[in-house]
Amino acid sequence: MKSGDKMEVDNAKEKEGEREWRKRRVVGWVEWPWSEVTGWCKVAGSEEDPGNRFFVGDAFGRLAMVSVDLSQERKITLLALGEVM
């Protein structure tokens, strides 16, 4: 094997290791009770609260607010706001 080939193999193995590192394991899941999400918008927060809240709309006009708590507890809160007619 040539030294250039060995370097290429080593580089390929290193890149593969980086890709494996980037893969994330599932730490939770959400059962979405409505239709496919068709739009979302981030809700602005204050200095104390960085704003991990989003308005989410589905294909049937249902509107919800999703709040993501990234603290130690890692919670997701779904608040149904109603339907747009």
pLDDT grade for 48, boundaries at 50, 70 and 90? low
Beta-carbon contacts of 56 under 8 Å, excluding residues fewer than 6 positions away, are 37, 39, 40, 63, 64, 65, 66
Please state the rounded mean pLDDT for residues 3-16: 81
Find tokens 């239709």 and name the residue: 35
The model's pTM = 0.55
> Rounded CA gap, 45 and 15, in Å?
38
pLDDT, the chain, mean = 80
